[in-house]
Amino acid sequence: MTQAMASKMEWETVWAAARERLRRELGEAVFDAWISPLVLLSFDRDEILLGAPKPFHRNWVANQYMSRIERALRAEGGDPAALSIAVNAPSPAIGARIAKEPQPEAAREPATVSYLGDAMPGERAEARRGLSHRIVNPSQSFESFVTGPANDFGYRAARALAAGEAEDLSLLYIHGGFGYGKSHLLNGIALEARKRGRRALFLGAEDFMRQFLGALNRKDTLNFKEELRAADILLIDDLQHLCRSTYTVAEFLHTLNAFADLHRKLVIACDRTPAMLENLTEDVRSRLTGGLVIALDKPDRATRLAILKARAAEYQRQRPDGALPEEVLERIADMEDASPRDLIGVFTKLATYADLTKQPVTMEVAEQTLGSRTAGTRKTSIEDIQRKTAEFYKLELRDFQSAGRARRIARPRQVAMYLARELTMRSLPEIGKRFGGRDHTTVLHACRRIAALCQESQEFKEEVEFLRTVLSRNA
């Protein structure tokens, strides 16, 4: 048996085993919808190319399941240097030519989405072998990012950095709530930088931590460091997850210092400000606050509606039967508590309903969907608020019941009272009772004091908003 035949049988076996693993992990419904249609197209020096039946299928799998596929391949004994997915012709054979769907030149999408390999032309995947970096989503470009007062500054800074116009900007730190567009901006930077021939490496904090600890165990940290420092722009998403290990925090500091010394760009996304990150040493925190720190806030109604209209136009090009009436988009945009991700989730549910049933989405259907979104939601309790606030300020729950007036206890107690009034339906006397039997006037004073401090201090306002976001998410 020739070496090529053996390699073919090996990868076919690994792929078959990986499919069965994914079937067990994802469940039959998800597997049948997204994984089952994928085929193994080719393998060249362990560079694996999978085929998807349509561009929409390819993009969805690339965005949602590529990391799961890569882990399944490794778990079954495969170690691909690069993992890519392309649109393929019906019933292709392994090694067959990939047919491209005819599209207008302006609307043509990349035929292949690469996961482990580098997207830059002319570079070998081996240049980054071992770095399981976050996929650069081709749909999350600057052109598809909808701007408004809440995110315009972050968008302009990201675009200037990607275009090489912000020479003095070495560190960009973007923070905001979940689903506010941080990852979209990082994707946009990576895509734009690569178009301009710059080497952009996009890593999730989990990837950074896993790869570094793996290199540490293999005593191969030098190669890990060299791979990172080879990038012109290093983008790290969800930094808050990296702070769990003192080893990774120390290595992150070395990376910060190295990129500063090399005059290269570092872009970080996080759900909170540098001051609010736990387990960071002061030198790391100082480095982060020394960069350009920009918050992405909750979008206003006009921006929410613009996001929905942009998504509706994109969806209608692919599925004409999924069009939603203007009044339905207006109704979804009325969701004041929704992040852009929440809006897209509601829109997708309604548009999919219209596409599959071939029935128009009426206002009645929309109201039912919006009602079901909150019908089963667990409400935030005063106990939840006390527990999360105590965790954040490193206090004991009993401190909220005590008569102590030390500022380190009194201020967090006022914050918890303020959030209890904002997030629950409890009356002032009821809230006071839960805080050591305090009078309702004490609660009212606390609420007014916290509201005033939020006006006076942006940093304090961000602390309170962060707690509000955490509590809303847990609910």
Residue 329 domain boundaries: 301-375
Residue 122: inside a domain: no
Q: Answer left, alpha or beta for residue 424, where phi above 0 means left and psi between -120 and 50 means alpha.
A: beta
Summarize pLDDT for 130-157 with one digit per residue, the tens: 454 455 778 889 999 999 999 999 999 9
CATH number at residue 418: 1.10.1750.10
Q: Which of 274, 257, 277 is nearest to 266 (CA)?
A: 257
Residue 412 banded pLDDT, cuts 50, 70, 90: very high
The residue written with tokens 């979008």 in the block is 299
Return the higher-pLDDT residue of 444 and 102: 444
Length of the chain: 475
| Top-confidence range, 42-56, 282-296, 374-388, 418-432 | 282-296
Strand 171-176 to strand 265-270: parallel, antiparallel, or no bridges (unpaired)? parallel
Give the pLDDT confidence score for residue 320 in this predicted structure. 77
Return the higher-pLDDT residue of 283 and 389: 389
Residues 271 and 132 in one domain: yes
How many domains does the chain contain in total? Answer: 4
Tokens representing residue 217 in the block: 């165990």
Residue 305 banded pLDDT, cuts 50, 70, 90: very high
For residues 201 and 231, the answer to whether their CB atoms sit within 8 Å is yes
Return the higher-pLDDT residue of 409 and 472: 409
Task: Report whether pLDDT(464) > 60.
Answer: yes
Task: Report whether pLDDT(96) > 50.
Answer: no
Give the pLDDT confidence score for residue 125 in this predicted structure. 38
Last residue of a domain, one of 330, 350, 375: 375
Residues 155 and 217 in one domain: yes
Residues 284 and 352 in one domain: no
Residue 385 banded pLDDT, cuts 50, 70, 90: very high
164 SS3 class: coil
Residue 109: inside a domain: no
Residues 149 and 11 in one domain: no
Return the higher-pLDDT residue of 145 and 45: 145
Give the pLDDT confidence score for residue 124 in this predicted structure. 36
For residues 51 and 38, the answer to whether their CB atoms sit within 8 Å is yes
Q: What mean pLDDT is predicted for residues 434-463?
A: 89
Give the pLDDT confidence score for residue 379 in this predicted structure. 65
Residues 369 and 386 in one domain: no
Residues 309 and 341 in one domain: yes
Q: What mean pLDDT is predicted for residues 181-198?
A: 91
**Radius of gyration (C-alpha) of the chain in whole angstroms:** 25
129 SS3 class: coil
Task: Report whether pLDDT(93) > 60.
Answer: no
Residue 21 banded pLDDT, cuts 50, 70, 90: confident
CATH number at residue 84: 3.30.300.180
Summarize pLDDT for 245-281 with one digit per residue, the tens: 777 888 888 888 888 888 889 999 998 888 888 778 8
Residues 386 and 369 in one domain: no
Residue 238: inside a domain: yes
Residues 325 and 441 in one domain: no
Last residue of a domain, one of 347, 375, 403: 375
Residue 115: inside a domain: no
Residues 367 and 389 in one domain: no
Residues 209 and 292 in one domain: yes
Summarize pLDDT for 26-35 with one digit per residue, the tens: 877 778 888 9
